């Protein structure tokens, strides 16, 4: 028996997600006002059949529990649990879609139930029924016998004729949240004595795309020797991994076209294109949640997410899906979305979260290597590079200026190409030091040096180097020594 079957909820209590449906149905059962026709609509794995079965068992239960759950002890419940409840019939319309089958079923529904109180017909994938079969069903739904309940389940409600829909009580099943799925996986793991790493649980919950059945099926496949480990899951799934995706985000943020195409071809080696898109979308979703809508990264990340989502169906239909994905990513990188380029590595620095403020990366400052002009307008005042707004800084307040020497700053600056003039101007300066805890003041030797140092890109670069040396945001001011 698969884990999904084994842990299929048997009562309202153990049903995950679908709280509204659970409450509506259990109340109707308790108040004895169930109807003859129900329509359950929702994507796969959201619990339609599970709810239909609990309902079928409950309407026949002779001693309902106070929460409307079947007792699992009365004769009818036991018959149901042991598969002897002949008054509950499940039909898969995908394989029995003909009018003869439905007519036969309706014919038999006229007879009183054999053991239970109601005959319950659960018709799965009801949208697959043929037109004449729907018509035959419609007549019965218009005036169902007192002792009959129909539960029609579908993943595609738009293919169910309106006449049928209007004669049923419709319930829309919501997709099950990742956290609900993860919770269920942890529960099953505990029951089964499986040691599951948390990363693997969350990854599987995500991959299942809101369906519990797929989640449990995947979960079962990944157990090796009573364990589920991150490395095994990554391997089996052919994932490119988070580090790789971070690098891709960085390349897009910095408009590094060479890197983007390098990473794309690497993707093909490591993963399947559509799998990669799934992984990328899930990564971007996490990043958007992480940075928040007011962050400087948000415009790019949301554009990235939307573009890749929109390309998904095209990629799937394309003979060369990776090409569709590659061009989509390139369009995001060089697209019209006005945004601030940023460096992901610094954004994700685990201990010091200072980089959420508006900063400019090297690539944003001037022309990129591809000759694409990038807006480098500084949003801050011309004389001062502002530190990030105070509310985004999550470091404890500091009272001492950082102890960074000019020599350290110079050697850091030299790591950047084309910084020679800047370095010279800085070395010429008779005085350059922190004037307070977050301001670095450079007194330029003369007006020429001052003009070199005052350029927005120079001050940004100095500010960035200082930040990486002292671990906090730094403003840079330039004055001419008199």
Binding site for Zn ion (CB under 5 A): 61, 70-71, 74, 77
C-beta of 68 vs 473, nearer to Zn ion: 68
Quote the least distance from Cβ 69 to Zn ion, whole Å: 9
Query: What is the distance between the terminal CA atoms of the chain, rounded to a whole angstrom?
Result: 86
For residues 74 and 330, which CB has a smaller minimum distance to Zn ion in the complex? Answer: 74
Considering beta carbons, is residue 61 or 215 the nearer one to Zn ion? 61
Among residues 238, 413, 258, 423, the alpha carbon closest in space to that of 334 is found at 258
Cα angle value 385/386/388 (rounded, 5°): 135
Q: Minimum distance from CB of 303 to Zn ion (Å)?
A: 55
Which residue number, 9 or 42, has a Cβ lying nearer to Zn ion?
Answer: 9
As measured in angstroms, the least distance from the Cβ of 2 to Zn ion is 26
Min dist. Cβ of residue 394 to Zn ion (A): 55
- Residue with smaller CB distance to Zn ion, 42 or 70: 70
**Min. distance of Cβ 71 from Zn ion in angstroms?**
4
Is 70 or 296 the residue whose CB approaches Zn ion more closely?
A: 70
Q: How far is the CB of 1 from Zn ion (least distance, A)?
A: 23
- Pick 44 or 117: Cβ nearer Zn ion: 117
Q: ∠ CA(103), CA(109), CA(111), 5° rounding? A: 130
CB of 75 to Zn ion, least distance (A): 8
């Amino acid at each position: 028996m698969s884990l999904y079957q084994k842990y299929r909820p048997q009562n309202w209590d153990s049903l995950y997600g679908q709280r509204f449906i659970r409450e509506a149905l259990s109340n109707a059962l308790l108040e004895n006002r169930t109807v003859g026709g129900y329509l359950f609509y929702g994507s796969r794995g959201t619990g339609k059949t599970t709810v239909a079965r609990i309902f079928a068992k409950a309407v026949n239960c002779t001693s309902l529990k106070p929460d409307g759950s079947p007792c699992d002890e009365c004769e009818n419940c036991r018959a149901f649990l042991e598969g002897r409840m002949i008054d509950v019939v499940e039909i898969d319309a995908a394989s029995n879609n003909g009018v003869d089958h439905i007519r036969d079923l309706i014919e038999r529904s006229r007879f009183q139930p054999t053991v239970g109180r109601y005959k319950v017909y659960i018709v799965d994938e009801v949208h697959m029924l043929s037109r004449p079969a729907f018509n035959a069903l419609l007549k019965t739904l218009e005036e169902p016998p007192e002792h009959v309940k129909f539960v029609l389940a579908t993943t595609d409600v738009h293919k169910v004729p309106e006449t049928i829909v209007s004669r049923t009580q419709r319930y829309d099943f919501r997709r099950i949240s990742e956290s609900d799925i993860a919770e269920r996986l942890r529960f099953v793991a505990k029951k089964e004595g499986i040691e599951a790493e948390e990363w693997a649980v969350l990854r599987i919950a995500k991959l299942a795309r809101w369906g519990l059945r797929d989640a449990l099926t995947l979960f079962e496949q990944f157990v090796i020797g009573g364990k589920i480990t991150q490395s095994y899951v990554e391997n089996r799934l052919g994932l490119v991994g988070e580090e790789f995706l971070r690098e891709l985000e960085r390349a897009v943020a910095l408009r590094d076209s060479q890197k983007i195409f390098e990473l794309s071809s690497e993707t093909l080696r490591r993963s399947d294109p559509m799998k990669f898109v799934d992984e990328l979308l899930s990564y971007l979703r996490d990043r958007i949640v992480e940075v928040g809508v007011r962050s400087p990264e948000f415009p790019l990340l949301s554009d990235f997410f939307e573009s890749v989502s929109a390309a998904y169906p095209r990629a799937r239909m394309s003979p060369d899906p990776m090409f569709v994905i590659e061009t989509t990513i390139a369009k995001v990188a060089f697209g019209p979305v006005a945004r601030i380029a940023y460096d992901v590595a610094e954004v994700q620095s685990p201990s010091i979260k200072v980089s959420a403020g508006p900063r400019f990366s090297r690539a944003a400052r001037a022309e990129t290597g591809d000759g694409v002009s990038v807006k480098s307008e500084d949003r801050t005042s011309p004389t001062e590079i502002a530190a990030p707004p105070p509310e985004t800084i999550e470091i404890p307040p500091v009272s001492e200026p950082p102890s960074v020497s000019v020599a350290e700053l110079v050697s850091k600056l030299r790591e950047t190409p084309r910084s020679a003039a800047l370095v010279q101007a800085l070395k010429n300066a008779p005085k350059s030091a922190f004037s307070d805890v977050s301001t670095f003041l450079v007194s330029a030797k003369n007006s020429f040096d001052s003009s070199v140092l005052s350029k927005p890109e120079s001050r940004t670069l100095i500010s960035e180097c200082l930040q990486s040396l002292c671990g906090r945001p730094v403003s840079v001011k330039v004055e001419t020594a008199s």
